[in-house]
Amino acid sequence: MGQPVKRIDARSKVTGRARYVADVKIQGMLYGKMLFSPHAHAHIKGIDTSKAEGLPGVWAVITAQHIPGENQIGVVTPDQPLLAQETVRFVGDCVALVAAESASVAEKALGLIRVDYQTLPGVYTAQEALGENSPLVHQGGNLLTHLKIRKGDLKKGIGECDILLEETFHTQRQEHVYIETIGALAIPEGDGSMTILGSIQCPFYVQKGVAHVLGLPMNKVRIVQATTGGGFGGKEDVPSEICGFASLLAWKTHRPVQMILTREEDLRRSSKRHPMSVTYKMGATKGGKILCAQIEVLADVGAYATLSPVVMFRSTVHATGPYEIPHVKVDTYGAYTNNIPSGAMRGFGTPEVTFAHESMVDELAAKLNMDPIQIRLINGLRLGSQTATGQVLRESVGLEETIVKAKEACDWESKRAEDKRIGPSRRRGLGASAMFYGVSLGAKGWPLDGSAAAVQVHQDGSVSVAIGGTEMGQGAQTVVAQMAAECMGLSLDRIAILATDTSLVPDSGPTVASRTTVFSGNATLNALEQIKRSMTELASELLAVAPEKLDFRDGQVLGGGKKISFDQLVQHCYSRNINLGAEGWFVSPPCSFDEETGQGDAYYVYGYGTQIAEVEVDLDTGQVQVLRVTAAHDVGKAINPQGVSCQIEGGVVQGVGYALLENFMMVKGQIQTPDLATYTIPTSLDVPQVEPIIVEAISEKGPYGAKGLGEQPIIPTAAAVANAIHDATGIRITKLPIGPEALRRALLEERKEL
């Protein structure tokens, strides 16, 4: 605990022995495929599946009319049919499913399905969607959500400012690019129930969704998570759709059906990060104290709500950045379009606004002739500060420490003072960016914010832990195993973490929002404490030592000069029929949010971070190379420092992609980047040197003081890179990604002006 350990799943993954859903083939299994809409917006006039049904090897062709339960899969808002019935609203909408004896027969059958469409006018930007007389994506109107913060007196704040800046920023759609595409294997059981194995982030969502679509009670649907190759939010809600497809086909054919998406199918169907336009007005005194922020966020939600209302909540709460600002007005709008749905992605609405507020803070610093670090220290949140939602921070605020540590580690002062010119057409620059991020679901997701663990100590003293949170590559299992080992005084190899299975653990909510370490960790500790109580009671009797003097350490239970080995004590427990199984539960501390004023304790605790990027800009080509990123993150107690460092490195790399090149492009609702040849992510040659720095501002409510971390590291990177480019060239880029063409154009224009 607190020491770097090798991940418990490292060996199985590195050797290729880990079993992903695509590795599982069972007797009689069929292959499922889905038919996409070619149109971004169209009315379905008719579907003729007869030819496809007649193709040898085809077992079933399903359309919306066959769905036995309700054709509805929307996770937050019931606006999304699983199979399009009357209308298709984006090019990833599916109108039919096929199960066949091979994937190629299924594919051939798709080509035989005739769908008669009448195309409809569509809307393709959020601005367009909210215009008068725009085509409607859903009958209720194109405005899905509007969230507000009203704090202090904005007018007064503006009046007191010595300087007031205004700017609009634009961010792009980003794809998760998890290494394993989404896949599912649905197995119809003899008793009419359905078991699903899949690449899944949130099994309890899938259980609810599949039961709903099949018209089954939830106790007839069991979800088992297969080894999952990455999620980043992309497997939060979309697997419910894919598992829904596979289970419909399995229900219809009474045979197991496997559906493994190709990369192209996955890119077409899975949700993306929200494209946003954000306008900031921010003002400060001459001394650099930020007094006011007026913020308007407009997000392209895409064709369905998916998780957008909750994503927008995060954008709203985090819109001011990690600063104490007395006068704040935030309006966040999410609008439907006929684009691919925007949904959950690492950072969940925060990297977008962070790009904007951190650019603004740097601009304020530049105009005030102030060091960017200084302005962040002046305004940064600390213990006792009040956030934009009026929440007073009473514990665990490590922001200042992350700023100071990052600054020192990257040699900020001397590097900022150095000559930017390192050649006739090359410039170097250094840029900082700070962030905060609410841990877990907060006020908007509070009803889902409980988690369970089911633990048993076996006769030989080994321990099994079933948790409701999933391992998707982030290292959750290792962290929970470490905590369990620490709690029981055992070595790590005595702990096994079971694959998440809805039949083993009560509904634990989703594995999202950087909540697993805290929630599955605390639930596990809660269960273990119950078992320890029983064991302690017996040990006290056997050793004749008062229970409060006993300690679980090094495989022993000891105290008062006496000891018994853990394993022996377990045997004694078993011989006396003492229950060594227990279920643990942890619920989020209370949160609140007033819909009218946006005031309340939005999240129970926050993580904080500061990143400093060093870049080199080629003035002739506009190419930016990120040389180094120093990334200091306050994670509470770092249970596995090696895991923390890896998360930081991965987040920075994904952040560099977001900053410089990733862009899931759509034109008139049609995808321009349908594969990984057109949608590019950083390669190993593009990755900067990353220096992770761990800051530990202990959180009382976290297990051993831990907070969440998974998402934080991607949040500040784009802004740090943009600020570094500004330092290098004097150019302020307000649109992501910062491609070479845009930067070169800006550089040429600047030259013209000089």
Partner 1 sequence: MLRPFDYFHPNDMAETLTLLDQEDETSVLAGGTDLLVKMRRGSIRPPVVVDIKGLEECQGIRWEGDRLSLGSLTTFNDLLRSQEAHKHFPLLIDAARVMGCYEVRERATLGGNVVNASPGAESGSPLAVLEAQVVLKGRRGERQMSIGHFWQGVGKTDLAPGELLVRIVIPRLPEGSRSTYLRRSRVQGMDLASVNVAVVVINPRLPESREIRVALGAVAPTPIRAREVETLLRGQEITSSLLSQMRDKIQEGLAPRTTSLRATPGYKKEMVGVLTEMALEVLLKG
Name the residue with tokens 């959500």.
Answer: 145
Interface with partner 1 in residues 691-730 (CB under 8 A):
none
Measured from the CB atom, the residue of 265 and 362 that comes closer to partner 1 is 265
Measured from the CB atom, the residue of 333 and 664 that comes closer to partner 1 is 664
Measured from the CB atom, the residue of 582 and 714 that comes closer to partner 1 is 714
Q: How far is the CB of 123 from partner 1 (least distance, A)?
A: 23
Q: Residue 149 — φ and ψ, nearest 5°? A: -130, 130
Q: How far is the CB of 620 from partner 1 (least distance, A)?
A: 5
Q: How far is the CB of 410 from partner 1 (least distance, A)?
A: 23
Q: How far is the CB of 11 from partner 1 (least distance, A)?
A: 24
Q: How far is the CB of 679 from partner 1 (least distance, A)?
A: 9
Residues paired with 337 in a beta bridge: none
Residue 299 exposed, middle or buried by CB count within 10 Å (0-12, 13-18, 19+)? buried
Q: How far is the CB of 613 from partner 1 (least distance, A)?
A: 17
Residue 22 exposed, middle or buried by CB count within 10 Å (0-12, 13-18, 19+)? middle
Question: Could you count the other beta carbons within 10 Å of the beta carbon of residue 101?
Answer: 16
Part of the chain binding partner 1 (CB under 8 A), chosen from 71-79, 317-325, 633-641, 681-689: 681-689
Measured from the CB atom, the residue of 33 and 563 that comes closer to partner 1 is 33
Q: How far is the CB of 625 from partner 1 (least distance, A)?
A: 9
Q: How far is the CB of 41 from partner 1 (least distance, A)?
A: 23
Record the tokens describing residue 3, joined without a space. Answer: 């020491």
Residue 578 exposed, middle or buried by CB count within 10 Å (0-12, 13-18, 19+)? middle
Name the residue with tokens 């925007």.
Answer: 342
Give the x/- contact pattern for partner 1 in 554-573, rule: CB under 8 A.
--------------------
Quote the DSSP letter at residue 587: E
- Residue 303's nearest CA partner among 62, 676, 42 is 42
CA gap 433, 399 in Å, rounded: 11
- The rounded radius of gyration (Å) of the Cα atoms in the chain is 27
In the list 122, 682, 710, 716, the residue contacting partner 1 (rule: CB under 8 A) is 682
Q: How far is the CB of 678 from partner 1 (least distance, A)?
A: 5
Q: Strand, coil or helix: what is 594?
A: coil
- Residue 294's nearest CA partner among 200, 377, 232, 360 is 360
Interface with partner 1 in residues 647-676 (CB under 8 A):
661, 665, 672-673
Interface with partner 1 in residues 228-287 (CB under 8 A):
none
Measured from the CB atom, the residue of 506 and 674 that comes closer to partner 1 is 674
Instruction: Judge whether 364 and 284 are in contact, CB under 8 Å.
Output: yes
CA gap 365, 472 in Å, rounded: 40
Cα dist. 393→390, 600, 606, 694 in Å? 9, 12, 9, 21
Measured from the CB atom, the residue of 507 and 618 that comes closer to partner 1 is 618
Measured from the CB atom, the residue of 104 and 119 that comes closer to partner 1 is 104
In order, the DSSP letters of 221-261 are EEEEEPB----TTTTSSHHHHHHHHHHHHHHHHTS-EEEE-
Question: Could you count the other beta carbons within 10 Å of the beta carbon of residue 184?
Answer: 30
| H-run or E-run covering 386 | none
Record the tokens describing residue 13, joined without a space. Answer: 């993954």
Amino acid at 431: G
Instruction: Judge whether 97 and 149 are in contact, CB under 8 Å.
Output: no
Q: How far is the CB of 273 from partner 1 (least distance, A)?
A: 19
Measured from the CB atom, the residue of 266 and 362 that comes closer to partner 1 is 266
In the list 493, 678, 749, 750, the residue contacting partner 1 (rule: CB under 8 A) is 678
> Is residue 740 involved in binding partner 1 (CB under 8 A)?
yes
Interface with partner 1 in residues 93-152 (CB under 8 A):
103-104, 107
Measured from the CB atom, the residue of 9 and 265 that comes closer to partner 1 is 265
Record the tokens describing residue 275, joined without a space. Answer: 């494209």
Measured from the CB atom, the residue of 119 and 621 that comes closer to partner 1 is 621
CA gap 473, 639 in Å, rounded: 16
CA gap 358, 434 in Å, rounded: 7
User: 2's torsion region: left (phi>0), alpha (psi -120 to 50) or beta?
Assistant: left
Question: Could you count the other beta carbons within 10 Å of the beta carbon of residue 744?
Answer: 17
Q: How far is the CB of 250 from partner 1 (least distance, A)?
A: 22
In the list 686, 730, 732, 735, the residue contacting partner 1 (rule: CB under 8 A) is 686
Measured from the CB atom, the residue of 575 and 684 that comes closer to partner 1 is 684
Measured from the CB atom, the residue of 544 and 677 that comes closer to partner 1 is 677
Instruction: Judge whether 461 and 503 are in contact, CB under 8 Å.
Output: no
CA gap 273, 271 in Å, rounded: 7
Residue 576 exposed, middle or buried by CB count within 10 Å (0-12, 13-18, 19+)? exposed
Amino acid at 599: Q
Q: How far is the CB of 628 from partner 1 (least distance, A)?
A: 16
Q: How far is the CB of 202 from partner 1 (least distance, A)?
A: 31
Interface with partner 1 in residues 604-623 (CB under 8 A):
620-621, 623
Measured from the CB atom, the residue of 107 and 507 that comes closer to partner 1 is 107
In the list 680, 698, 732, 735, the residue contacting partner 1 (rule: CB under 8 A) is 680
Measured from the CB atom, the residue of 18 and 687 that comes closer to partner 1 is 687
In the list 683, 751, 752, 754, the residue contacting partner 1 (rule: CB under 8 A) is 683
Q: How far is the CB of 742 from partner 1 (least distance, A)?
A: 10
Q: How far is the CB of 564 from partner 1 (least distance, A)?
A: 56
Q: How far is the CB of 108 from partner 1 (least distance, A)?
A: 9
**Which residues have a Cβ under 8 Å from the Cβ of 752 and sit 6 or more positions away?**
none
Measured from the CB atom, the residue of 12 and 672 that comes closer to partner 1 is 672
CA gap 722, 563 in Å, rounded: 60
Measured from the CB atom, the residue of 50 and 104 that comes closer to partner 1 is 104
Part of the chain binding partner 1 (CB under 8 A), chosen from 129-137, 314-322, 332-340, 737-745: 737-745
Instruction: Judge whether 269 and 236 are in contact, CB under 8 Å.
Output: no
Amino acid at 106: A
In the list 48, 418, 741, 750, the residue contacting partner 1 (rule: CB under 8 A) is 741
Part of the chain binding partner 1 (CB under 8 A), chosen from 89-97, 231-239, 485-493, 736-744: 736-744
Q: How many residues bind partner 1 (CB under 8 A)?
A: 22
Question: Could you count the other beta carbons within 10 Å of the beta carbon of residue 749?
Answer: 10
Give the x/- contact pattern for partner 1 in 512-541, rule: CB under 8 A.
------------------------------
Q: How far is the CB of 269 from partner 1 (least distance, A)?
A: 18
Measured from the CB atom, the residue of 51 and 744 that comes closer to partner 1 is 744
Question: Could you count the other beta carbons within 10 Å of the beta carbon of residue 676?
Answer: 13
Instruction: Judge whether 747 and 447 are in contact, CB under 8 Å.
Output: no
By CB under 8 A, name the binding residues for partner 1. 103-104, 107, 620-621, 623, 661, 665, 672-673, 677-678, 680-686, 740-741, 744
